[in-house]
């Protein structure tokens, strides 16, 4: 199961969520939610009188509580993403974009030998699950025909490997961030979906 989840939460996939301006703004939502829950004058306006029988089993502000916890989980996930996401993935959406943007620049700086050493050290320092995830990805300078490639092609392959390694880094943290996002969005969706159904039913009763 964890392998199935891991395949769906690489840093490149989390980037689509964590880099969103709307999601970044969610970091402030728990603060506003906390202020609302503590304000008695505001609470009376947040109670939906159409909840009916639900109020016998749930707090009157159950929607606000779910929104608060949902935004809280999303905010924690966003903070962890911003803190731990590799810089390669933050800057480039995929490996080939990185190769396109960095290859010529690195060659102009005569960084080829340094990149070869860096990739070799990178592959030797994989630990635990990260090592297993990268087991099927060939190290560029050990590939057949490496010597027949041009410097541009070699550097491009090194950049692709570097981004791929970064994309697989910290698998358990990636899974945690993914689950925080998923659980948070579910909590946010419940009151929104329930309110939509209630409003639709009330509208239908009045029309028919």
Which range has the top average pLDDT, 28-32, 60-64, 75-79, 118-122?
75-79
Q: What is the pLDDT of residue 136?
A: 61
Picking from 59-73, 97-111, 129-143, which range would have the lowest pLDDT averaged per residue?
A: 129-143
Q: What tokens appear for 149 in the block?
A: 């490639």
> Which residues touch 153 (CB under 8 Å, ≥6 apart)?
none
Per-residue pLDDT tens digits for 15-41: 988 887 777 666 666 555 555 555 545
- Which position has the token pair 């239908």? 204
Q: How far apart are CA 128 and CA 77, in angstroms?
A: 23
Q: How far apart are CA 49 and CA 62, in angstroms?
A: 13
The pTM (predicted TM-score) of the whole model is 0.77
Phi/psi for 156 (5° steps) reads -60, -45
In angstroms, the first-to-last Cα distance of the chain is 48
């Amino acid at each position: 199961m964890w392998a199935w989840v891991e395949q769906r939460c690489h840093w490149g996939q989390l980037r689509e969520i964590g880099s969103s301006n709307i999601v970044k703004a969610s970091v402030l939502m728990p603060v506003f939610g906390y202020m609302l829950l503590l304000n008695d004058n505001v609470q009376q306006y947040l109670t939906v009188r159409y909840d009916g029988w639900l109020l016998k089993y749930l707090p009157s502000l159950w929607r606000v509580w779910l929104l608060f916890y949902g935004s809280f989980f999303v905010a924690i996930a966003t903070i962890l993403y911003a803190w731990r996401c590799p810089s390669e993935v933050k800057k480039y959406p995929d490996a080939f974009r990185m190769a396109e943007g960095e290859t010529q620049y690195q060659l102009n700086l005569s960084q080829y030998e340094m990149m070869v050493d860096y990739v070799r050290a990178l592959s030797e320092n994989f630990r635990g699950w990260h090592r297993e995830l990268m087991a099927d990805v060939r190290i560029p300078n050990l590939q057949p025909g490496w010597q027949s490639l041009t410097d541009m092609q070699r550097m491009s392959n090194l950049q692709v490997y570097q981004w791929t390694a970064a994309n697989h880094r910290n698998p358990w943290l990636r899974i945690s961030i993914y689950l925080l996002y998923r659980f948070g969005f579910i909590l946010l969706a419940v009151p929104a979906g329930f309110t939509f159904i209630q409003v639709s039913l009330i509208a239908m009763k009045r029309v028919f």
